[in-house]
Structure 1
């Protein structure tokens, strides 16, 4: 049974975005209410300053017109809860003045009443954060009107206002971050799944959890159904091609057997050549599909030993081969798949370039294997295309060699599955150069 708080959370994406906007409006309203309250306090302070000017102006005029013998008593009568007034005769020495003089407030009061300037107004505060002020106004005979006004300054209000603004801004930022994260989490998961579907070499798709707003749930459900359909199509295609390719071996074997009984040697040679070509095609398709049908586990192998075995096999057939690199290099790979990769590269180099020169460099985090031949190379415009399945270069790749355009496609697919990269270019003064990079320690599949 879902809790009440979950029921209050809208189901749809539009409802959730609307709720986020409503929450932002409420927070702004509360912040505005706090700031308006602070503004009213500032207005009250301004009104208090105006009232203070009026009171001091009245007191100054009254004491000026009063005989000196009556000024002390009159000052007591002029004092009230808002201001404390005393009169000091000329012969009374001045006491030590407070430490902080308030020049800005002096100029403000003098601006409101120029008479304060003639009376040499002085205003002080006991401390920098004090809200009460002390002041002195001089009469023409040298006597002084001293006054104390409590709680007329409002330093605390500015602090409270800044604190309120900071708290409000922080609350809005945290709430927005949490809400946006909650809304974007399902979308990020959708993006990751879509990216995995887009990778042709990634077939282990993970079903997407159907959660979040109603619209996101519907999209996740559609993507999961799409994954199932795509996986079914890929499996059906792979199984059909594998079955057809495998079943072709039987009639090809019968054809080869029957061709052996032909009396015409020329016809027999032509038929056997066609059979060889068809068998090469079948073997190439089966090799291409083997990685999808039966992916082998990874294990640690000596890459140098594997390369030397392939090169020795070509050398025994009279091909020009060479190897430059360390005597041992351990990597974690799918052994048969990687052996097929470098077998294809070395076969291509020998068949189309007349030689295969292999270089291995162990750079710690990655291993770089380079295969160079002495052939015509591949034009730059064709280098990306030759990595696609069933694409062949005319002229430089003749059908007499038995190629059907799967060798480099297998190389690309298996190297990417091993978390490596394949680069093609033409070596200066030589032929095609294929550079394969593999991690020294590839992760387990």
Structure 2
């Protein structure tokens, strides 16, 4: 059920607006139709009361035969009028309170004319069969005549009120009054206009919501941009007061984060750089010592410390270094890096890699690919590269022939100083920063690095970067 519900704030607001519009319109139509029906019923009772008064006033002094003649002369197809010894309304009990009250009113008003009883009944509508040649369907008639004909047809098919009024001599006056039909709120003429108005309201609501939520969509994009690059341009602090406050807070947060990260990066780089001087002095002093196992062990330890210092400097300074982005042929760059390793090869011909162009910082991208390839060579011996295009992205796959990794370790190994020797054998150890630097570089360029196990064995590192159209 939840998947059918809106997933965004504008969609929810639009759903609320449309639902509210529909509910208010339906409620309004219902109330108007109900009030019109109630008012129309009161008018029809008034019409019957007046007709009864007119007929009784005309006939009360006439003889029985004269009444019958008058009734025959006044009766017509739409308004039947008869005088007889039996009432047309057989039941003396009214079907509702309104009719019962009307009967009392008639008796009280007409008693001075010798009326002793009155009965009123509601009759259901009976639509007469349409006869050929009816004026309503004649296109040669004028508009007024067609309207009158349609109204007569509606009256003929409408509900009726039948009244029976008893004179003092026992004779009954029976007549029928057709009730005025209540037209529907929506008709063929009004429906298009109502639909147009509702459509305009919905369109204006959509436009207004897009205008109102546009700044917040910009905030969302800015947060995504900041998560990939802390040095992205700050937001413009213009617009509504709420948006200006949110943009100002976001810009301040970005500035504080950038200062915090830069301070830590510069501190790490300075510490690693300062280690190089005592390491150099220690290396020179070791050269003065004679050959021994202790000297060999210390030399190996110094080499490890120097490697760690270099990795820390690389990790801390790759974001600080100012380098402009350029268009780079990823296939040529990957081939040049692969040529530096004897155990690295491409699975496809070089011709299929043409046109794989991305926009990135050249030195940083080379470091990213080198770290991934070097990691695969150390832990997986032979390495296979593959370059392909996935929609708008360029994907470089680096697959080794090692034992792979448990899936739960795929994200863990990207953390700084995490080594994989616990799950994969190796001859030499690294600093645990190679994959961290590679992913940080890829994400700063709008891409990413992900790991997976290959079905044939070995670990796959997938470098995905946004592609651009080749200038050639």
What TM bracket, shorter-length normalisation? 0.5 to 0.7
Contact 2:372–2:398 (Cα < 8 Å) also in 1 = yes
Relative to 1, partners in 2 of residues 1:397 and 1:200: Cα closer, same or farther, differing over 3 Å?
farther
Q: CA deviation at 1:231?
A: 1.6
Tell me if structure 1 keeps the 8 A contact 2:405–2:424. Answer: no
2:339 aligns with: 312
| Aligned equivalents of 2:423, 2:435: Cα separation in 1 | 15
Quick one: distance in 2 between partners of 1:86 and 1:362? Answer: 88
Match of 1:331 among 357, 364, 367: 357
Q: Deviations over 1:225-274 (max 9, x none)?
A: 33222221111111222222233333333333332222234333333322
Cα distance, 1:174–1:52 mapped onto 2, change above 3 Å: same
- Paired residue secondary structure (2:370): helix
Note the 1:226-265 alignment, pairs <5 A.
226-265=253-292
Q: Which runs of 5+ in 1 are unaligned?
A: 1-20, 89-110, 138-144
8 Å CA contact 2:29, 2:185 repeated in 1? no
1:71: which partner in 2? 70
TM value normalised by structure 2: 0.61
> Does 2:404 align with 1:405?
no
CA distance in 1 between partners of 2:410 and 2:250 (Å): 34
- Determine the C-alpha separation between the residues in 2 that align with 1:223 and 1:146: 83
8 Å contact kept, 1:38–1:161: no
Q: 1:389, 1:406 within 8 Å by CA — same for their partners in 2?
A: yes
Structure 2 unaligned spans of 5+: 1-16, 83-118, 137-145, 161-173
* 1:31–1:164 CA contact under 8 A, matched in 2: no
CA distances 1:90-132 after superposition (whole Å, capped 9, x unpaired): xxxxxxxxxxxxxxxxxxxxx9548999xx9989997586556
Which of 447, 453, 471 in structure 2 is aligned with 1:420?
447
Aligned to 1:99: none
TM-score between both structures, scaled by the size of structure 1? 0.64
CA drift of 1:368 comes to 3.0
**In structure 1, what is the Cα distance between the partners aligned to 2:156 and 2:426?**
109
**Within 2, Cα distance between the matches of 1:188 and 1:39?**
46
Give, in angstroms, the shift of residue 279 of structure 1. Answer: 2.1
From the superposition, tell whether residues 161 and 255 of structure 1 become closer, same or farther in structure 2 (CA, over 3 Å): same
Q: What is the distance in 2 between the residues matched to 1:121 and 1:372?
A: 84
Q: Tell me, in whole angstroms, the C-alpha distance in 1 between the residues paired with 2:127 and 2:398.
A: 95
Greater displacement, 178-187 / 374-383 = 178-187
Paired residue for 1:204?
Answer: 232
Distance 1:191 1:114 in 2: 67
Equivalent of 2:319 in 285, 292, 298: 292
Q: Which structure 2 residues correspond to residues 59-208 of structure 1 after superposition, within 5 A?
A: 59=55, 62=59, 65=64, 67=66, 71=70, 75=74, 112-113=120-121, 130-131=150-151, 152-155=180-183, 188-197=217-226, 199=227, 201-204=229-232, 206-207=234-235
Instruction: Tell whether the 8 Å contact from 1:280 to 1:402 is kept in structure 2 after alignment.
Output: no
CA RMSD of aligned residues (A): 5.2
Please tell me whether the aligned partners of residues 314 and 321 of structure 1 are also in contact (alpha carbons under 8 angstroms): yes
Is the CA contact (8 Å cut-off) linking 1:41 and 1:157 kept in structure 2?
Answer: no
Q: Matched residues in 2 for 1:442 and 1:289: separation?
A: 32
Report the CA distance shift for 1:441/1:174 in structure 2 as closer, same or farther (over 3 A).
closer
**Paired residue secondary structure (2:319):** helix
Answer yes or no: is the 8 Å Cα contact 1:35–1:161 preserved in 2. Answer: no
Contact preservation (8 Å) 2:403, 2:458: yes
Q: Aligned to 1:266, which of 293, 303, 325? A: 293
2:45 alignment counterpart = 50
Taking a change above 3 Å as real, the CA distance of residues 66 and 224 of structure 1, as seen in their structure-2 partners, is: farther
1:322 correspondence with 2:345: yes
